[in-house]
Amino acid sequence: MTTPIVALDVDSLDRAMAAVDRLGDAIEWYKIGKQLFTKEGPAVVKGLKDRGKKVFLDMKFHDIPNTVSHAVLSAAAIGADLCNVHASGGPAMLEAAAKAGAQGGITVIAVTVLTSLDEAELAAVGISRPPAEQVRLLAALTKQCGLAGVVCSAKEIRLVQETCGTDFLLVVPGIRPAGCGAGDQKRVMTPGEAAAAGAQFIVVGRPIMAAEDPVAAARAVTAEIRAAEERR
Ligand code: C5P
């Protein structure tokens, strides 16, 4: 089953809660990123939990194992349901994150290679492997270290499934319903395509948050997912 997560890419707690209240029961899961969390902190998580929502805290932790372990426990303590780390933090850090996740009762996934990094950017930080091979290596490492899944782009779904199997959690951003402009996203997938490909979660920001009627846009995304699931 594919679940939409709405990216709360706004700059204040008030705006975030207004969006959540407007969407009501059309959306259960929300993603809080660095912009909103840095400014408003745990109050955003609390606001969502008070409304019965699920929270993906998108902080992409990347530090020494002890620090990441405590950060994951903190994410769990404030009520987040899902959080993430950078797979390039290495095996000891990933294992510490997985252990802390199990202890705190929070699902932990990893980011493999940021989609903003191309071959030249990777080469500049000493990685000479093509980006897809780096994604494969880091996805396999993430799984070996006991994490639940990865954030991956539409174009990486098949590669990650080949490497890690279909039970591995895939959280896929870069989603654009049919008829929506791609904007700054380079490679996009519709909600139906992502559901057909087996993504457990899709992250949708502007197509819902910036829609004239966000509730209708959210319901259309869910309907598209359900239709694709019925065809599977
Ligand atoms: O508005 P839009 O649907 O493009 O928002 C997508 C969300 O997913 C944003 O919060 C963005 O930071 C995040 N994201 C992404 N591409 C990635 C990883 C995360 O767009 N590769």
pLDDT (tens digit per residue) in 94-119: 999 999 999 999 999 999 999 999 99
Catalytic residue among 46, 49, 54, 60: 60
* Nearest alpha carbon, ligand 1 atom 12: 33
Is 60 designated active site?
Answer: yes
* Nearest alpha carbon, ligand 1 atom 13: 173
Domain residue limits at 132: 3-231
Which phi and psi (to 5°) does residue 32 adopt?
A: -105, 125
What was the pLDDT predicted at 20? 98
Q: Which two tokens stand for residue 177?
A: 């319903």
Average of per-residue pLDDT across 142-156:
96
The span from the CA of 121 to the CA of 227, in Å, is 39
The span from the CA of 220 to the CA of 190, in Å, is 11
Residue with tokens 């966000």: 214
% helix, strand, coil for the chain, step of 5: 50, 15, 30
For ligand 1, the distance from its centroid to the CA atom of residue 9, given in whole angstroms, is: 9
CATH of the domain at 224: 3.20.20.70
* Nearest alpha carbon, ligand 1 atom 8: 173
pTM of full prediction above 0.85: yes
Identify which of 103, 60, 101, 97 has the alpha carbon closest to the alpha carbon of residue 81.
101
The binding-site residues of ligand 1, defined as CB within 6 angstroms of any ligand atom, are: 7, 9, 33, 115, 151, 153, 173-174, 185, 203-207
Total domains, the chain: 1
What was the pLDDT predicted at 46? 98
Contact between 220 and 18 (Cβ < 8 Å):
no
